C-alpha cells in the first residue's frame, strides 16, 4: 500500500493563493502547477526523507523545492503532512509566524 499525504489548512490556503495568482494570467497554467505540486506530494509521501531538513525553523520540518516553489512538510508514520507551500523568494521566517503563534495558545 502506498503512503499518503495530508495537507494542512495552511497549505490548502497557500495552494489557493498560488492558483489565484497564476490564474490571473493563465488558468490552465495555474491548474497545471497545482497538479504538478500534487504529484510532488505523492513523491514525498513515498520518500519522506527526500527533502532537506529545516531544523533551524521547526524540529522535524523538511523542505523540497519544485520549480519556483518550496514544499515544507513533516514526515509521518504513513507518509507526510504538507505544512506549507511557498514561492521560493518568500521570507521563510515571517511565514512560519503562524506556527509559533499556535504554540503560544
Please state the domain extents for the chain: 4-104
Position 99 pLDDT exceeds 70: no
| pLDDT (tens digit per residue) in 16-65 | 999 999 999 999 999 999 999 999 999 999 999 999 998 777 789 999 99
For the 4-104 domain, the top CATH level (class) is: alpha beta
Cell numbers standing for residue 41 = 506530494
Distance CA 56, CA 93 (A): 10
Cell numbers standing for residue 99 = 506556527
Q: Which has the higher per-residue pLDDT, 20 or 96?
A: 20
Amino acid at each position: 500500500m502506498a503512503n499518503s499525504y495530508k495537507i494542512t489548512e495552511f497549505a490548502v490556503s497557500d495552494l489557493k493563493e498560488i492558483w489565484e495568482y497564476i490564474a490571473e494570467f493563465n488558468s490552465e497554467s495555474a491548474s497545471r502547477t497545482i497538479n504538478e505540486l500534487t504529484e510532488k506530494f505523492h513523491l514525498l509521501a513515498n520518500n519522506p526523507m527526500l527533502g532537506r531538513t529545516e531544523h533551524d525553523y521547526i524540529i522535524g520540518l523538511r523542505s523540497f523545492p519544485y520549480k519556483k516553489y518550496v514544499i515544507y512538510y513533516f514526515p509521518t508514520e504513513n507518509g507526510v503532512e504538507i505544512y506549507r507551500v511557498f514561492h521560493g523568494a518568500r521570507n521563510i521566517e515571517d511565514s512560519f509566524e503562524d506556527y509559533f503563534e499556535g504554540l503560544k495558545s
